[in-house]
Amino acid sequence: MHHDHTPRRSVLDQLRRTAGDPDRRILFTGATVVTMDPALRVLSSGDVLVEGATIAAVGHDLRAQGAAEGAVVVDAAGTILTPGFVDTHRHAWEAQLRRIMPDVDDLGAYVTTTLLGYAPAYRPEDMYIGTKLAALTAIDSGITTMLDFSHNSRTAAHSDAAVRALLDTGIRGVHAAMGPHFGSWDHQWPADVARLREQYGSELLTFRLATLATDEIAGPDLAYGPALARFARELGIGVSVDAVFGAPSSQAVLAWEREGLLGPDLTLIHSTGLTSEAWRAIGASGTTIALAPTSDAQIGLESAIPAVDEALSVGVRPGLSIDVEVALASDMFTQMRALHAIQRMRAVNGAYGTDREPVRIGTADVLDFATLQGARTNGLAHVTGSLTPGKQADLLVITAEELNNMPLNNPVGTVVLGSDARNIDTVLIAGQVRKFDGRVLDVDLAALRAEVTASRDHLLAQAAPGTTA
């Protein structure tokens, strides 16, 4: 965006000055616009007009139609505009324990260390700081919507703190609440979810029920079934089910099918090692899938192979997610690349030595999963996930003329395979500027660092003996 003759600072000043104006207009001009809208596709030199919280228009030379009048004009030449990325499942409260166990061997070790060891030591303020750090990091790397699978809801105060962190960062948050696996807690969940939604629900913050697939890990209270399904339906919220693995989960899926508990408002997370019968039921019901490509492969969950082919074979286009930062990367670029590489490796490897033609996904597929399909999976396809007029203005300005991206030859390839957080120049969420000129706005890094470190130190000191290897 170095073509801009108006210094960037004065553009930022205008954006800050007008931030409270519900009718504020921002016109991005001269960008390569990757809309992720099947009807609008890619505009090689396009403009995007934002009015208030929404996308008003996408097209060529909107100035000619008067779009610049009274608008803050941002010269976006040399950049790619895309929808914000959508994270369909992250345990945000764990962020101050980042990379503390980078080579964790299996699910059991993670559960023992994090959920049994650290989680009971969390105070509400630890929930707040972990969730806030995760959300700010998400914004920094272009994730505008984050489903926070908040499974340490020990008390109402713990939940309030996690929700407040989402609100304070300005991210489009989905608070998916679940009681903790282990340790003492108030058993206010799931009933408390009704209060949370009543108290905090808004255009920017929605709620879901978070559950586990079976009672193997933490007992029957947290397992999805008729009672929790009924609770969610009465409240009119979706359900996200974690730890969907292997034979026991496959049997559970078929039981849910018989009970009428599958459908588009249900998200199954991971879904590794499921039977073809379970996949048939998922596809037939329009149930959504959240893949965690690095989590499945790196931690080794069941088959350790992200279930993208299985999902696509029954007509389900999955969303993508980060999962646990205690052992994994925090950003969506990593998820897209890992899935792209793993699926293509599998496809070619499966056909190697035969005369079969490998069926490979491409960069456009994983970008679709990271944006529009993630929004659909989170129940927000009508709100975000594509640069479609009428949707909320959740958008990214990605630099295409930096060292790592020049020259711009293929915009989708550049976003998926070339870019990283340093290329996320600008982030808008609901029309509000959250990152500009490569910096997340309104974050006191020194103060944040002190809070994060103090919280981490508390958790290490208080954690169950034997937690820290």
Helices 192-200 + 226-235 axis angle, to 10: 20
| Shared domain check, 426 and 335 | no
Q: What token pair was written down for 101? A: 């166990």
| Shared domain check, 156 and 255 | yes
pLDDT for the residue 216 = 86
| Shared domain check, 156 and 69 | no
Backbone angles phi, psi at 306, to 5 degrees: -55, 135
Q: What token pair was written down for 119? A: 């989680």
Q: Which of 251, 415, 253 is nearest to 336 (CA)?
A: 415
Cα separation, 173 vs 166, whole angstroms = 6
C-beta of residue 203 within 8 angstroms of C-beta of residue 176: no
Q: What token pair was written down for 114? A: 């994090």
| Shared domain check, 37 and 92 | no
Cα separation, 300 vs 212, whole angstroms = 18
| Shared domain check, 408 and 278 | no
pLDDT for the residue 437 = 96
pLDDT for the residue 259 = 97
Enclosing domain of residue 94? 85-377
pLDDT in tens, 184-223: 999 999 999 999 999 999 999 999 999 999 998 878 999 9
Count of the separate structural domains present in the chain: 2
C-beta of residue 415 within 8 angstroms of C-beta of residue 409: no
Number of H helices, E strands in the chain: 15, 17
pLDDT in tens, 412-467: 999 999 999 999 999 999 999 999 999 999 999 999 999 999 999 999 999 877 77
| Shared domain check, 418 and 344 | no
pTM over 0.85: yes
Q: What angle do CA 66, 393, 238 make, to 5 degrees?
A: 150
Task: Give the three-class secondary structure for 178.
Answer: coil
Q: Which of the residues in the chain have pLDDT under 50?
A: 2-5
pLDDT for the residue 6 = 54
pLDDT for the residue 217 = 81
DSSP 145: E
Cα separation, 338 vs 30, whole angstroms = 31
C-beta of residue 162 within 8 angstroms of C-beta of residue 93: yes
| Shared domain check, 254 and 227 | yes
Helices 156-169 + 124-140 axis angle, to 10: 30
**Which CATH number covers residue 243?**
3.20.20.140
| Shared domain check, 45 and 176 | no
In a domain, 1, yes or no: no
Q: What angle do CA 17, 23, 25 make, to 5 degrees?
A: 70
Tally the C-alpha atoms within 13 A of residue 127's C-alpha that lie toward its C-beta: 26
Task: Give the three-class secondary structure for 443.
Answer: coil
Question: How would you classify the pairing of strands 79-83 and 395-399?
Answer: antiparallel
pLDDT for the residue 313 = 98
| Shared domain check, 19 and 110 | no
C-beta of residue 116 within 8 angstroms of C-beta of residue 182: yes
In a domain, 455, yes or no: no
Report DSSP letters for 146-170, one per residue.
Answer: EEEEE----SHHHHHHHHHHHHHHT
In a domain, 317, yes or no: yes
Q: Which of 327, 361, 377 marks a domain boundary?
A: 377
pLDDT for the residue 4 = 47
pLDDT for the residue 200 = 98
In a domain, 453, yes or no: no
**Which CATH number covers residue 52?**
2.30.40.10
Q: Which of 128, 107, 110 is nearest to 118 (CA)?
A: 110
